[in-house]
Amino acid sequence: MKDFKRETEVTSDGSVTLYIPEIDEHYHSTNGAFIEADHVYINAAFMHYVKSNDADNCINGSEADTARSVNILEVGFGTGLNAFLTMLKCADEKIKVHYVTLELYPLDKECTESLNYPELISPENAGFFKDIHNAEWNKAVRITDTFTIEKRKLNLVTDKVDGCFDVVYYDAFAPEKQPEMWNDGIYNKIAGVMNNGAVLTTYCAKGIVRRGFRDAGLTMERIPGPPGKREMLRGTLLVK
């Protein structure tokens, strides 16, 4: 996959995605790259976790401290769209995020410079988008006061993943395109680094994926998907 050609395509919401002809696969939904990322990961995972923790703290009569610092794991850094949107959201919500993202095949500079997300979403923060892509690999790099990114170049199939995470964005290519990323070994590895109460989302709604994460210990649910997709999956790790 490293040497595959990547072509830029404009999706329905005006944001671009990348297309790999060799495997007939897009990095994002053609119904809207920005809309999909915002729906599947920012709202259904990150903000769902934050609001759930805030609600629990209010019930207990204490301040909402536990949701003010969040560790996020992303499987599939890709174009950096999820990271950029998370950076913007954590600044708005005044939440500190340590963002670990895994990618075996980082994009080259030509690809990243073809992405129009900052101009479309937040032109005043375009410099931060560049900072995210220019951040040194395998090192924690502080981008803003509330957002630190750690881009790890590793093979999730064979390499160990260290850390304890509150939120997981599972954004690998589709099971039929990248089957090695969708199996019991991977599901157990991901569950093994999730904290109690951690939330995972993926755009994939296949029953075999839902059952796989369920068998790894997550409580799984089907929730409404982004435009063009009826359903997606969300899981919560609840240790009994």
- Whether 85 shows a pLDDT value over 70: the answer reads yes
**Type of residue found at 41:** Y
User: Contact, 226 vs 43, CB < 8 A?
Assistant: no
Q: Is the pLDDT of residue 60 over 70?
A: no
Predicted local distance difference test score (pLDDT) of residue 57: 47
Model pLDDT, residue 63:
47
Give domain status of residue 16, yes or no: no
User: Looking at the 3D structure of the chain, how many domains does it have?
Assistant: 1
Report pLDDT for 53. 87
Q: How confident is the model at residue 3 (pLDDT cuts 50, 70, 90)?
A: confident
Residue 97 domain-assigned? yes
Task: Tell me the average pLDDT across 12-17.
Answer: 97
In a domain, 205, yes or no: yes
What is the tens place of the pLDDT at every residue in 24-36?
Answer: 999 999 999 999 9
Residues 215-237 have pLDDT tens digits of 999 999 999 999 999 999 999 99
For 86-124, how does the pLDDT look when each residue is reduced to its tens digit (9 = 90+)?
A: 999 999 999 999 999 999 999 999 999 999 999 999 999
pLDDT at res. 62: 43
Instruction: Look at residue 55 in the predicted model and tell me its pLDDT.
Output: 54
Q: Which residue has the tokens 């979403």?
A: 121
* 26 located within any domain: no
Give residue 61's pLDDT band: very low, low, confident or very high (50, 70, 90): very low
Q: How far is CA 37 from the centre of its chain?
A: 8
Range of the domain at 202: 33-237
Within-domain flag for 211 = yes
| 9, part of any domain | no
Output the domain CATH number for residue 122. Answer: 3.40.50.150
Inside any domain, residue 40: yes
Tokens of 117: 């997300």
User: Is residue 18 assigned to a domain?
Assistant: no
C-alpha dist (Å) from residue 120 to 111, 116, 124, 142: 17, 6, 10, 24
Lowest mean pLDDT among 49-58, 144-153, 203-212: 49-58
